[in-house]
Amino acid sequence: MIEVKDVSFTYPNGVEALRGVSLTIRDGDFVAIMGQNGAGKTTLVKHFNGLLKPTKGKVLVDGVNTQEVSVATLARKVGFVFQNPDHQLFCETVEDEVAFALRNFGFKERTIKKRVTWALNLLDLTEYRKTSPFMLSGGERKRVALASVLAWNPKVVILDEPTIGQDHNQKERLRQFIVQLTAQRKTVIIVTHDVEFVAECNPHVVLMAQGKILAEGGAKQVLTNPKLVARTSIMPPQITQIFLGLADLGLPTDLIDIHEAKEALLNFLEADS
């Protein structure tokens, strides 16, 4: 469980990135943190594994104050996949890359082998086991970065902009993957701009603007509120936009799911005829 209590954070150059943020994320939650560029999303999640320590307030991870422990200790529980895989890949083979963190955490070589095989299999990377990560495509590198974090089986997985540069199939796989993780009672936190992706996944949404939390709630509740999302320079999902446009006909406006939308339209057409 992650508890953020009235946290403010100012970067050394004087930029106030967080202003009194409070948030509770329970075990097994699936949370999407959304908001415009510079809203403080990444700054906030960097507090969850201690990369940043609050200037004011405190962050508790499983009851432990992040001020008091090292990043490495927290990282064992909280896995953080960075936006750009090129910021972490450095080994000669994909296998070594995935094993890197396991070695840092002092796993035994036999366990490391098993975990690596498991993680590569999970992300469909087994055929690249001996390939250099630098030879892989962008999407594959992103999966290697993800595998290298999932390998140590952290309780919480943070994904910073996981959908950037991914094609539709990859996004769909990512979605299924997140569903799998949450089914295993893992906490998944994504930072994203991708409204359509969020609409499909239907997580708990935390909407941020100017270092503050603007709103929090179900994806449906937050994303279908046009006034709210307008304040963060994101648009409601396309489905919602259509239904907002058709509101005069008496159609519901709180839809984000394609299937629900189809149902609502069919009902409407039936009633009409």
Partner 1 sequence: MSVFDGLRFRKVSSPIHRLDPRAKFFYVIVMFVIAILFGELLPLIVLFLMQIPFVFVAGVQREWIRSLRGALFLAVIIFVFNFVFGYLSPGGIPRIEPPVDTLSEYIILLERSLAMALRFAVLVESFSVFFLTTSPDHLGLALEQSHVPYEFCFAFTTAVRFVPVLAEEAQTIMDAQKARGLELERGNFIKRIRNYIPILIPLIVNAIRRSLELAEAMESRAWGATEKRTNLYALRLKKPDYALALISVLMLVLAVYIRLFLPVPPLTVILHI
Task: Give the residues lining the site for partner 1 (CB under 8 A).
Answer: 46, 49, 51, 70-72, 75-76, 79-80, 82, 84, 86-90, 100-101, 104-105, 134, 148-149, 152
Cα 226 from Cα 246, distance rounded (Å): 14
Identity of residue 38: G
Task: Give me the least distance between CB of 159 and partner 1, in Å please.
Answer: 12
Whether the CA torsion 72, 75, 76, 77 is positive or negative: it is positive
Nearer to partner 1, 149 or 209 (CB): 149
Contacts of 163 (CB under 8 A, 6+ apart): 171, 174, 192, 194, 197
CA dihedral 55, 57, 59, 65 (to 10 degrees): 90
Task: Give me the least distance between CB of 106 and partner 1, in Å please.
Answer: 9
Nearer to partner 1, 141 or 220 (CB): 141
Pairing of strands 212-218, 204-209: antiparallel
Cα 207 from Cα 213, distance rounded (Å): 6
Task: Give me the least distance between CB of 258 and partner 1, in Å please.
Answer: 35
Nearer to partner 1, 88 or 240 (CB): 88
Task: Give me the least distance between CB of 134 and partner 1, in Å please.
Answer: 7
Nearer to partner 1, 156 or 195 (CB): 156
Nearer to partner 1, 33 or 239 (CB): 33
Task: Give me the least distance between CB of 81 and partner 1, in Å please.
Answer: 8
